[in-house]
Chains A and B, each alone.
Chain A
Amino acid sequence: MDEKRNELKKIIMDTKTLPTLPGVINKLNALSDNDKSSVQEMARIVSSDQVLSARILRLANSPSYGFYRVSTISNAMILLGVNVVKSLALSSSIFEIMEKNSVGLWEHSLGVGVASNMIAAKLGLPECEEIATAGLLHDIGKVIISLKCSEAEEEVRRVINEKRVYMREAEQEVIDTDHAEVGGWLAKSWFLPDKLSEPINCHHNVETSENHRIKTAVVHIADVLIKASGFGDSGDDYVPQIQQAAWDALKLNEQTVTELVEDLEDKLVEVKNFSLELQQNTDAAPN
């Protein structure tokens, strides 16, 4: 079985291009034509797209630029420059796949990003933006599996329906690995810092997170809450339990979680509107 896993790993390490959403590109172009728009505003738009975010971070941390610790989208954009970011966004020519098949996953990811940020802010954690980015990217492995092994993806869907299991269990059965591990490989091959790759890799298994357990715990809880709220589509309909390691890492109690759920309901309305707006722009954009 190791063979299949190694083969998949090789395919992923070869990944040079990944899809991105055209709505983001339109917004980015409109903003960069306007002199007064700040990098922060543009970073907010970029952050709504997990694939573009990942590519920008990967580029800013790549050996050719020689920066090693860029973990926020706005800092990456400052260093790369608006032109490079725009070129990068435009060069993604296979975004149609994402547009047609993965709006649900995209909404789920967007929701987890927003929820991660909200939880981090509520608990007074430093580096909220990083945690939000980790949340946004946590399921990037699913995009890769869907792109690179579409046959396996169908099989995974079949197993989920037939056996009523979590997506990652079905993935383990079909491809002998899961989207968290695949996302972790990808993050590593993109030279993303540990504080991003570890929460991606360990979001279903908080205990295995060694250096960034708090960030991992936040992403894990955000993932569970978003699944429970029924926002977006993460691939299966089952809501897992919040792991003990996450409760411990964040010193959470039920009272705090109840407050989090209430705050989240309001936030999700905003996110939904934002998502619809981007999709409308996408539909209206000339080809």
Chain B
Amino acid sequence: MLPPIRISLVSSDAQLTSQLQLRLQSRGHQATAMSYIDGVLGAFYSDPPDLLIVDLFADGNAGMTIVTALRSDSFFSTIPIIGLVSPADYDLFPWETYPLDDVLFLPINFSELFCRIALSFSRINRIFDNNPLTRLPGNTSIQRAIEDAMGKPLAVCHVDINHFKPYNDAFGFSHGDEVLRMLSRIMFNAVRDAGGGFCGHIGGDDFVFIASLAQVEPVCQTIIDHFDQIVLDLFDEATKRQGYYNGTNRKGEAEKIPLLSIAIAAVPMNSDKIRHVAKVAEMAAELKKQAKETEGSHFVVDQRKG
């Protein structure tokens, strides 16, 4: 049997929520009701539901504040949000800019609600190419983001982890996955705190982010500082002191493997050299070789004038 779907209901209309709760529970779903903004965001961040139903009719702007806040963090973007509106209100909303997945008119037709819930889930699964591990956008979105960035004062940055494979071999995939999730969060937070941009997960230990040229160096430095700090939590005291552990290299030989570090290659997109998306990856690969020449975490920004 599938685990029950966990649904959060946000409305200040107590009668509506209790009715909804009852019907959803009768279908085997778990439904929790909440009524004000701060509480909703806190509960949402600490224990994300599978689906959110927001009453836009009774709560007006409060509902939209919640939806907008949640949609601004890509970590939560795979959670479908269904809005409830009154038929009289439907032309008041600028639907094309509202980050909702679906709407339902009040009073609720419950068979319709159940259809829309099922559809939301299948749609989200179909259209999202997000990496299931880190929940960052995958290659289709990355390709599109790089195309959009061409010619603009932005930098496309490729990130990978040095000595990741031997770490995975020595400590196991679940720990390796945790490292990938940590790097994705560090990257996402650093880019967002610097004013926003794009973050994607190519696959394995390869990531991409896009930030403004003005911010790219501080963002790279923040990612490196934070990663180097977090990494210390992943090794025991003895390993941290000696700076390496015993593992196997790519050729299968026993070797002293250094602690994890990262390499970042930043390619400015307003350069004349960039005529095609494929060129970005090629330049990034060259730069990354430079970043990997010395031990530890490093970033290199392409400075050559095209």
Contact = CB atoms under 8 A, between A and B. Distances in A.
A62 B231 CA distance: 19
B177 A82 contact: no
A64 B48 CA distance: 7
B229 A93 contact: no
Given A75-B229, A83-B192, A84-B45, 8 more contacts: A59-B45, A65-B181, A69-B233, A78-B185, A79-B189, A81-B192, A88-B45, A93-B38
Interface of A: 16-17, 39, 55, 58-59, 62, 64-72, 74-75, 78-84, 87-88, 90-93, 126
A74 B229 contact: yes
Label chain B's interface by main secondary structure.
helix
A137 B130 CA distance: 37
Contact of B39 (A17, A65, A84): A17
Contacts, number: 80
A59 B75 CA distance: 14
A81 B229 contact: no
B255 interface: no
B3 interface: no
Given A74-B229, A78-B230, A79-B230, A91 B41 contact: yes
Given A39-B226, A66-B177, A88-B42, A78 B189 contact: yes
Contacts of B45: 59, 84, 87-88, 91
A64 B189 CA distance: 17
B113 to A, nearest CB: 25
Given A62-B46, A64-B48, A83-B192, A91 B39 contact: yes
Contacts of A92: 42
Contacts of A83: 73, 192
Interface string B30-46: 00000000110111011
Given A79-B186, A88-B46, A66 B230 contact: no
B299 interface: no
A74 B230 CA distance: 9
A47 to B, nearest CB: 16
Nearest to A68: B178
B181 A72 contact: no
Nearest to B189: A81
A69 B45 CA distance: 19
Contacts of A126: 237
A95 to B, nearest CB: 11
B42 A87 contact: yes
B45 to A, nearest CB: 5
Interface in B166-209: 177-178, 181-182, 185-186, 188-189, 192-193
B42 A78 contact: no
A75 B48 contact: no
A71 B233 contact: yes
Contacts of B181: 65-67
A40 B185 CA distance: 17
A62 B186 contact: no
B283 interface: no
Interface string B211-239: 00000000000000010011001100100
Contacts of B178: 66-69
Contact of A91 (B38, B189, B192): B38
A93 B46 CA distance: 15
Contact of B38 (A58, A68, A90): A90
B282 interface: no
Identify the interface centre among A55, A65, A72, A80: most chain B CB within 10 Å of its CB. A65
Contacts of A82: 189, 193
12 contacts: A16-B46, A59-B45, A59-B46, A72-B233, A78-B189, A78-B226, A79-B182, A80-B189, A83-B192, A87-B38, A87-B69, A93-B39
Nearest to A126: B237
Nearest to B41: A87
